Amino acid sequence: MTDVSDPSSNRSRLLLGNARRGFVGIIRGIDVVEGRSSLSSSELESQLIEMGFVEGARVEILHEGAIGRDPIAVRVSGITIALRRREAQAVVVVPVTAEAVAVI
């Protein structure tokens, strides 16, 4: 599991699975909770990392499914990926301000 225990980031910390379409943020880590996915914790963590969900990567939610807002289309490091919200719950992010988006 990736360390997400930095107390300075906890104030604005949120899970990607809770974010809405249009959200832009930076990945702060992976925090897999057993039972949120049909995959085991280690499998889900490995798959997310292989897809590019790594600390410091820019992430944006491009689209939400019509039924239950699931799945979501996410752009991470320039690649578009479809992801179930329950699996996106393992990705810890911090929002990016409008000023910072212009720089990224």
**Domain extent listing, the chain:** 11-103
- Exposed, middle or buried, 29 (CB in 10 Å: 0-12/13-18/19+)? buried
- Quote the CA–CA distance of 96 and 4 in Å, as a whole number: 17
CATH number of 11-103: 2.30.30.90
- Quote the CA–CA distance of 1 and 94 in Å, as a whole number: 18
Q: What is the mean pLDDT of the segment spanning 75-104? A: 83
pTM over 0.85: no
Tens-digit pLDDT profile for residues 28-79: 999 987 666 777 888 999 999 999 999 999 999 999 998 888 899 999 989 9
pLDDT at 104: 47
